[in-house]
Structure 1
Amino acid sequence: MESSGLLEGLEGDAREQRAELIPWLLERGITPEQIANSYQPMLMASNRFLGDDGTRYSARQISDAAGLDLELLKRVQRASGLPRFDDPDTAMYTGVDRDAAGYAKKFMDLGFHSDQIVLVVQVITEGLARAAEVMRFAALEAVSQPGATELDLAKRSEALLRNVSPLLGPLVDNMLRLQLLHMMETEAVSTAERAEGMLLPGARDVTIAFADLVGFTKLGEVVAPEDLERLAHQLTDLAREVAEPPVRYVKSIGDEVMLVSTDPTAMLDAVLDLVDATEAIEDFPRLRVGVASGQAVSRAGDWFGGAVNLASRVTSASRPGAVLVTEAARDAIGDEERFTWSFAGARRLKNIKDDVKLFRARRAKSG
Structure 2
Amino acid sequence: MIGSVPPDERPQDAPEPEPALRGDGLPAPDDRVESALLREEPAYAAAEVAETLGVPTAQVRRLWRALGLPDHGDARAFTDSDVAALGDLVGLVDGELVDLDLAVGTTRAVGQTMARLADWQVGTLVHRVEEIEARGTTAPATAADDAVRLVERLREPFEELLVYAWRRHLAAAVGRIEALGANEEDLHSTEVTVGFADIVSFTALSNQISREDVGDLIERFESRCADVVALQQGRVIKSIGDSVLFVNADPVRALETAEGIINKIGRDTRMPDVRVGLASGSVVLRLGDVFGPPVNLAARLTTVARRNRIIIDAATAEQLPHDQFETRRLPARPVRGFGILEPLAVWRH
TM-score, normalised to structure 1, is 0.80
Deviation of the 1:350 alpha carbon: 1.3
- CA distance change for structure 1 residues 189 and 117 in 2, over 3 Å: closer, same or farther? farther
Q: Answer yes or no: is 1:183 the counterpart of 2:173.
A: yes
Q: Counterparts of 1:17 and 1:351 in 2: how far apart (Å)? A: 54
Residue by residue over 1:3-57, the C-alpha shift from the partner in whole angstroms, topping out at 9 and shown as x without a partner, is: 27999xxx97964999xxxxxxxxxxxxxxxxxxx933x433x433322522321
- CA distance change for structure 1 residues 267 and 14 in 2, over 3 Å: closer, same or farther? farther
**1:164 alignment counterpart:** 154
Matches within 5 A, 1:93-104: 93-104=78-89
Instruction: Name stretches of at least 5 consecutive residues in structure 2 with no aligned partner.
Output: 8-12, 21-26
Instruction: Name stretches of at least 5 consecutive residues in structure 1 with no aligned partner.
Output: 19-37
**1:64 alignment counterpart:** 51
- Which residue among 157, 174, 177 is the counterpart of 2:164? 174
Q: Counterparts of 2:104 and 2:311 in 1: how far apart (Å)? A: 38
Asked if structure 1 preserves the Cα contact closer than 8 Å seen for 2:283 and 2:291, the reply is: yes
**1:314 alignment counterpart:** 301
Q: Answer yes or no: is 1:220 the counterpart of 2:210.
A: no
Asked if structure 1 preserves the Cα contact closer than 8 Å seen for 2:179 and 2:249, the reply is: no
**2:31 alignment counterpart:** 43
Asked if structure 2 preserves the Cα contact closer than 8 Å seen for 1:63 and 1:101, the reply is: no
Aligned to 1:206, the other structure's residue is in SS state strand
Matches within 5 A, 1:81-230: 81-87=68-74, 90-108=75-93, 109=95, 111-143=97-129, 145=133, 152-188=142-178, 193-194=183-184, 196=185, 198=186, 200-202=187-189, 204-230=190-216
Deviation of the 1:63 alpha carbon: 2.1
- Which residue among 338, 350, 364 is the counterpart of 2:336? 350
**1:290 alignment counterpart:** 277
Residue by residue over 1:224-257, the C-alpha shift from the partner in whole angstroms, topping out at 9 and shown as x without a partner, is: 1221222222121112112136421111111000
Aligned to 2:269, the other structure's residue is in SS state coil
Asked if structure 1 preserves the Cα contact closer than 8 Å seen for 2:181 and 2:191, the reply is: no
Residue by residue over 1:168-212, the C-alpha shift from the partner in whole angstroms, topping out at 9 and shown as x without a partner, is: 321211121122122122232777733x3x4x413x322111010
Q: Between 148-157 and 51-60, report the one with greater CA deviation.
A: 148-157
- CA distance change for structure 1 residues 306 and 273 in 2, over 3 Å: closer, same or farther? same
Deviation of the 1:287 alpha carbon: 0.8
- CA distance change for structure 1 residues 2 and 271 in 2, over 3 Å: closer, same or farther? farther
Residue by residue over 1:52-94, the C-alpha shift from the partner in whole angstroms, topping out at 9 and shown as x without a partner, is: 522321112222333444332211111122110344xx32223
RMSD: 3.2
Aligned to 1:193, the other structure's residue is in SS state coil
Aligned to 1:223, the other structure's residue is in SS state coil
Deviation of the 1:332 alpha carbon: 1.6
Q: Counterparts of 2:267 and 2:181 in 1: how far apart (Å)? A: 42
**2:64 alignment counterpart:** 77
- CA distance change for structure 1 residues 342 and 150 in 2, over 3 Å: closer, same or farther? same
Asked if structure 1 preserves the Cα contact closer than 8 Å seen for 2:197 and 2:277, the reply is: yes
TM-score, normalised to structure 2, is 0.84
Q: Counterparts of 1:173 and 1:316 in 2: how far apart (Å)? A: 39
**1:24 alignment counterpart:** none
Residue by residue over 1:81-109, the C-alpha shift from the partner in whole angstroms, topping out at 9 and shown as x without a partner, is: 2110344xx32223342232123124333
- CA distance change for structure 1 residues 103 and 65 in 2, over 3 Å: closer, same or farther? same
Q: Between 246-255 and 152-161, report the one with greater CA deviation.
A: 152-161
Aligned length: 332
**1:360 alignment counterpart:** 345
Q: Counterparts of 1:68 and 1:174 in 2: how far apart (Å)? A: 32
The residue identity in structure 1 corresponding to 2:87 is G
